[in-house]
Chains A and B, each alone.
Chain A
Amino acid sequence: MSVLVNKSSKIIVQGFTGSEGTFHATQMIEYGTNVVGGVTPGKGGTSHLDRPVFNSVSDAVKATGADVSIVFVPPAFAADAIMEAAEAGIKLIVAITEGIPVKDMIMVKEYLLGKEARLIGPNCPGVITAGECKVGIMPGFVFKKGNIGIVSKSGTLTYEAADQVVRAGMGISTAIGIGGDPIIGTTTREAVELFMNDPDTHGIIMIGEIGGSLEAEAAHWIKAHGTKPVVGFIAGQTAPAGRRMGHAGAIVGGHDDTAAAKMKIMAECGIHVCDTPAVIGVTMAKVMAK
């Protein structure tokens, strides 16, 4: 068992033949991910990285039975690519693309209502199930196999947390980068819920940042339904109000979306909150030893 992706997941790459798509698809294949093909409209029938290229997601699904898609399509066309994947019956869509207009994502969110597809991201590092399947842009070697699940809005901070977990003598079941945009497909709460239901995940690391209310929502859910220990960290304690810190969604608008407010709610809901990113791994080790 694992969360979202595993050895038998069949992955296609949207934006396969572009430079980003080519680079990361190569890395994914080297990791052992079952990449069955890719989509670049107009290049159907050709071959790339020894895999077939299709004109549409629908063609790719019919020919390969793909159930997971990773999207590297440029921002102006990414919303269209996500909706195309959902329409073609893809179950998990991982959107790496950064810079998709909010207006497009409002449309995507509406389009996905009532559809089977789950969206991860956009503007995220993707999903990795250690030792089995990497659908993303993370450095695979950091994620050694184990029983800790990670959900995070940030890419490099996820790698940091995974590295600390491994150094503390544990490993990762699955890591989910949910993305730092104002509108994302899978929320912190949903990712936590997936981990709570996964027998191979014994502890959860939840990494958030300033802006929005996803962490508070997840914390309240954990208080009511949680069955496994959760260690949390919120980035941006020193970020000034009203300034965007890189991620489109990382901006303090009011009192409720500051790091301090989120950390307080998380602690009240029984989450082991770290005040510095340097102790995420050791905190998890302490909690798991209990």
Chain B
Amino acid sequence: MNIHEYQGKQILKSFGVGIQEGIVADTPEQAVAAAQELSKQTGTQWWVVKAQIHAGGRGKGGGVKLAKSLDEVKEKATNIIGMNLVTPQTGPQGKKVNKVLIAQDVYYPGANPTKEFYMSVLLNRQTGRNIIMYSTEGGMDIEEVAAKTPHLIFKEEISPATGLQPFQARKIAFNLGLSGEAFKQMTKFVASLYKAYDTIDASMFEINPVLKTSDDKIIAVDAKVNFDDNGLIRHPDYLAMRDVTEEDATEVEAGEHNLNYVKLDGNVGCMVNGAGLAMATMDMIKLSGGEPANFLDVGGTANAARVEQAFRIILKDPHVKAILVNIFGGIVRCDRVAQGIVDAYKNIGEIPVPIIVRLQGTNATEAKKIIDESGLKVSSAIELKEAADLVNQVLTK
């Protein structure tokens, strides 16, 4: 699960991580009030108006603007709220902005120069341990840093037995070239950041940039916080932060029916049991001359009701020209799936696109009988190769 920057910062702050302070607003009027309140709290004279969407690269798309007066706050907020923000991470269709974060200006002049760093916390899948990845090159695209100057990216692995040790936090602060008060502040920042990560069952933190201010504070200017979905069962308070308007509406609906659905851009819908077989079926659709319209895993307990629901979800996509059902029956019985297909047809009325059904495994013979005796316009297959050929035939008709 992803959350917004303002929510991520609230969580970090609750663990003692220094942040760029801000107040979220839904309207330009609220934005102005937020700016006034923020000045009272922090003394800031300028404000940053930041679009709140679940995607990075917001600055590049015009979703982050500096405002030097309250009139400018209103003007920038008016422009950003409701805009369709296109960033390198949103895809060409962009995302609608519903909220802005009015944040304090943290690049104020002072005794020392400001400096931006990069820091993330994530799982190293090879070792099965968390790492803190950090770089002196903050505020830039980290993939670009990795490509051009890989020696400026550092990694610190955390032992699950001991947790993050103080010497590791010091090593990070040293490697970032800090000294004096800033050094001390960075060790605190790192320690509280890791504590937050470990406590909330996160799957990734990315703080870019981490800023050393002109008065040697260390703060998170941005916060990308992702949760491990499997861990959310023990964090109902964080689960409540989910913003479904950021997600595809059909995917949300599918989720409510416990269907694992991901919308794609193709023309052949598919319904499969098991994630691996579902991906393999998508690949097969492509090799048969089509493009997969979705990923959909009906799971191990597919029954008539679930299959019908899955059909309804797939058919919401107007680009779907054919549907391939590919079920290998292990836990799920093929005859139940076949019954589901028949019932779905009856309940939905006429399904406007050709359906290719491939059922194999437990009770496959009974399943084929149910399909064949139903009188429905459904092509059936037993081997995967036959199913692929049928998809190709349907598309080239």
Q: Which residues of A contact B (CB under 8 A)?
A: 75-76, 99-103, 105-107, 109-110, 125, 137-139, 141-142, 152-160, 163-164, 167, 180, 182-183, 207, 209-210, 212-213, 217, 233, 235-240, 243-250, 254, 259, 275-279
Contact = CB atoms under 8 A, between A and B. Distances in A.
A109 B264 CA distance: 35
Contacts of B331: 137
Interface string B242-274: 000000000000000000101010100000111
Given A213-B126, A245-B278, 20 more contacts: A101-B201, A102-B123, A102-B230, A106-B160, A154-B277, A156-B274, A164-B384, A182-B125, A209-B279, A213-B125, A235-B279, A237-B282, A238-B283, A239-B279, A245-B275, A246-B276, A276-B388, A278-B383, A278-B384, A278-B388
A153 B294 CA distance: 21
B285 A156 contact: no
Interface of B: 123, 125-126, 128-130, 143, 159-161, 198, 201, 203, 228-231, 233-234, 260, 262, 264, 266, 272-287, 291-292, 295, 297, 300, 328-331, 360-362, 383-385, 387-388
A239 B282 contact: yes
Contact of B274 (A100, A157, A164): A157
23 contacts: A110-B159, A110-B160, A139-B361, A154-B277, A155-B274, A157-B280, A158-B276, A159-B361, A160-B280, A180-B275, A180-B276, A209-B275, A210-B279, A212-B126, A235-B277, A238-B264, A238-B282, A243-B295, A248-B228, A248-B230, A275-B287, A276-B287, A278-B388
Contacts of A163: 328, 360-361
B228 A101 contact: yes
B123 A183 contact: yes
Identify the 4 closest CB pairs spanning chains A and B, nearest first: A154-B276, A246-B275, A156-B274, A235-B279
A276 B231 contact: no
Contacts of B360: 160, 163
A109 B229 CA distance: 20
A102 B203 contact: yes
Nearest to A141: B362
A229 B360 CA distance: 28
Contact of A238 (B123, B159, B286): B286
Contacts of A107: 160
B287 A247 contact: no
B292 A157 contact: no
A125 B330 contact: yes
A238 B285 contact: yes
A153 B275 CA distance: 10
B262 A235 contact: no
Contact of B385 (A100, A102, A213, A279): A279
Given A180-B276, A250-B275, A139 B283 contact: no
A236 B283 contact: yes
A160 B234 contact: no
A138 B292 CA distance: 27
B231 A237 contact: no
Given A102-B203, A106-B128, A278-B388, A156 B279 contact: no
Contacts of A249: 125
B330 A235 contact: no
Contact of B228 (A103, A155, A210): A103
